[in-house]
Structure 1
């Protein structure tokens, strides 16, 4: 690391770092590279939606048990978020990202022995390791993207970076669709006529197909690690205030938790991530249950449409946020989401699948807006890294809400009714947005 606090690299960073940790103007190359991290975790997360469908049939799982995929994934996120903030504080955003990419790579490689062992638990372990890497990457990238430029444009920058996310999500689902899912009958129908060793051999072949997308991901990860090693990045850390005593990690966490507005933001992000993960986890299952003649490859198209809707919903939100308050856009997106979910409960026909796609579009601005609003609630800039990590920890909602929705689907026997849980998640987002529209936070 040089005297200016930048980790070694050959391609220079040009810009002035401010005492607040922000940059006087956005460094385009560095911002683009950080933004390219977003589709990398988008691809991993979207492959989970494929794995849930694949594992449910191969390992004969209930809807509840199949959601363990998301639980293992987001538990890894949750556990590693605070260590990520500590690593950022002690080193840099860049080094934390590189370590995260290496863990992501390790988790991807672990899929190969998991396939050979043919056990659900081993796959869950591989996903857990992979997710610890993603936690480091996302904890760094979400905050870093917001910091790479003037402070008054932080929400816009993060929304732009988040726009890259569905590109990775679509790439991941396409890899799953063409490399994992097959043409012809769905997996459940193909397994019906098999017994004994035939069924075991079929399952092993199906598990081998899960490896194919991860081969491409391993190559992309190696390339990204090399690029980050050779490019210089700004330190982007707030200058220490001599008047405010420096806190240790525990003191920082306790201080943040005493902040009522920050707690409200954490809770809202918990609800939002649960909404996003659960809806995308069960969109394929929804299509398959509402049209039993459909196979997994065809049903996966609806997840692709969902990601496209998410992308378009974000673009529309970015446009609206140019002349409307960010929270007003968030509020109305959430309100329309509540009505969309209510419609799914009334009309349980295949139309519900298209409504689920609409719901994906309504999720577009949620994460970035809630994230930056919550980050804005902190009063001490030195708490930025830890605050960002704590917000990322709220992805644990992605472990809880798919389980809740899977349980409701098992109990009611209806995948359509299971979407009722999102009256709560969208409701929480609407309340958050409405509250801070009427009572703006002031430091």
Structure 2
């Protein structure tokens, strides 16, 4: 298969895992009303999702080493499909713990895709265009995150009593049971699409990677140390901390803008504005890619972090539409953070790049600490809890200007 066709197929994978990840943003307020959860319990849903990145990253790398990249992609899609199908009995029971297990399984499949697809995209074509290819598939990932809220709003929130009622509506037991089952159809659709995609990849002839090059790098790695690269050492917590900010905003967005003093919307109406949050991330990645042709990536990242911190302070200390649009705008500034931190983190690592990439992927587990954001919302209020997001932006700003410097640049 020519590498352009392979790239198109892999872009579909990036789209799907972005899409499925962001369905959680509509699932969280839905399950909060179904199970009558606190914010802490609701954000634990996302924590279960991102804990999978911590536990599944190393086993995923071992599996890829044993079976190869193409079979690993098929297995990852299969694991995701199993998790999606388990959401159906979880909804029929309905069971909050069963739901957490199903989501953990889906996220484990996505982790396998992340560990396999990112380096695969980088090596299947000419080395000089590897960055371009990675940016392209990341744009498809953002496209998936952009459309997911519309899908979730239409098939989950708009078909449920909790999703079409006011923010203060308390559901009866019968309404909770009916609302729980509204997730069956969307996850059945997702499972069917995943199975079809797994079959297409299984039947495809994706190009194989050269194992001789991998063996050469393995020999070189024995003489090198990751600890000699401060841009990686500080980059791992940068990814971890950034994920707390991104996931906290996305998962509490619908609950926040639905409040009478902010947007006064139903959850179904609020999901349409969540579409704008993720759409801003897609647009921001294209803008950031253009700006980085002329401006140092670290400087672009620093500007984005400063602006993100500013709009989060507006979100906390204002009310009404001003606070709502400030929170929506943070998606534009968050857009470049993950890929830029990732790029700065592996800069100058040579044969250590693959190992460093695995550690940065594992740092995505930072999204699990969104439960801290939920705890702050329960204890101090939903609006003040976004000060945590502003604090996360401060660390990203520091990393952009100082933490991301190479060892040689520090001596200079």
Q: Do Structure 1 and Structure 2 share a fold, with TM-score over 0.5?
A: yes
SS at match of 1:240: helix
Alpha-carbon offset, residue 243 of structure 1: 9.6
Distance in 1, matches of 2:354 and 2:46, equals 25
Q: Which residue of 1 aligns with 2:123?
A: 147
Alpha-carbon offset, residue 299 of structure 1: 0.8
Is 1:126 matched up with 2:93? no
Distance in 2, matches of 1:264 and 1:436, equals 6
Q: Which TM-score applies when normalising by structure 2? A: 0.90
Post-superposition Cα deviations, 1:72-97, rounded to whole Å, max 9, x if no partner, equal: 11111221111111222233222221
Unaligned runs of at least 5 residues, structure 1: 1-11, 14-26
Distance in 2, matches of 1:243 and 1:291, equals 55
Q: Which residue of 2 aligns with 1:226?
A: 199
- Correspondent of 1:296 among 245, 263, 267: 267
Alpha-carbon offset, residue 288 of structure 1: 1.2
Distance in 2, matches of 1:78 and 1:128, equals 11
Is 1:201 matched up with 2:190? no
Q: Which residue of 1 aligns with 2:249?
A: 279
Residues 70-81 of structure 1: pairs in structure 2 closer than 5 A: 70-81=46-57
The structure where helix makes up a greater share of residues is 2
Are residues 148 and 427 of structure 1, via their aligned partners in 2, closer, same or farther at CA, if it must alter by over 3 Å?
A: farther
Are residues 122 and 257 of structure 1, via their aligned partners in 2, closer, same or farther at CA, if it must alter by over 3 Å?
A: farther
Q: Is the Cα–Cα contact under 8 Å of residues 272 and 366 in structure 1 kept in the other structure?
A: yes
Distance in 1, matches of 2:217 and 2:156, equals 57
Distance in 2, matches of 1:134 and 1:286, equals 28
Are residues 124 and 137 of structure 1, via their aligned partners in 2, closer, same or farther at CA, if it must alter by over 3 Å?
A: same
- Correspondent of 1:398 among 343, 351, 367: 367
* Total equivalences in the alignment: 406
Distance in 1, matches of 2:179 and 2:300, equals 44
Is 1:166 matched up with 2:142? yes
Alpha-carbon offset, residue 30 of structure 1: 1.4
Are residues 299 and 434 of structure 1, via their aligned partners in 2, closer, same or farther at CA, if it must alter by over 3 Å?
A: same
Post-superposition Cα deviations, 1:389-418, rounded to whole Å, max 9, x if no partner, equal: 221111111110x212211111112x2211
Post-superposition Cα deviations, 1:196-236, rounded to whole Å, max 9, x if no partner, equal: xxx22221211111122112212221221122122222316
Moved more, 116-125 or 88-97: 88-97
Q: Is the Cα–Cα contact under 8 Å of residues 162 and 169 in structure 2 kept in the other structure?
A: no
Alpha-carbon offset, residue 427 of structure 1: 1.3
Residues 81-160 of structure 1: pairs in structure 2 closer than 5 A: 81-160=57-136
Q: Is the Cα–Cα contact under 8 Å of residues 56 and 108 in structure 2 kept in the other structure?
A: yes
Q: Which residue of 1 aligns with 2:345?
A: 374
Q: Which residue of 2 aligns with 1:331?
A: 302
TM-align CA RMSD: 2.6
Q: Which TM-score applies when normalising by structure 1? A: 0.84
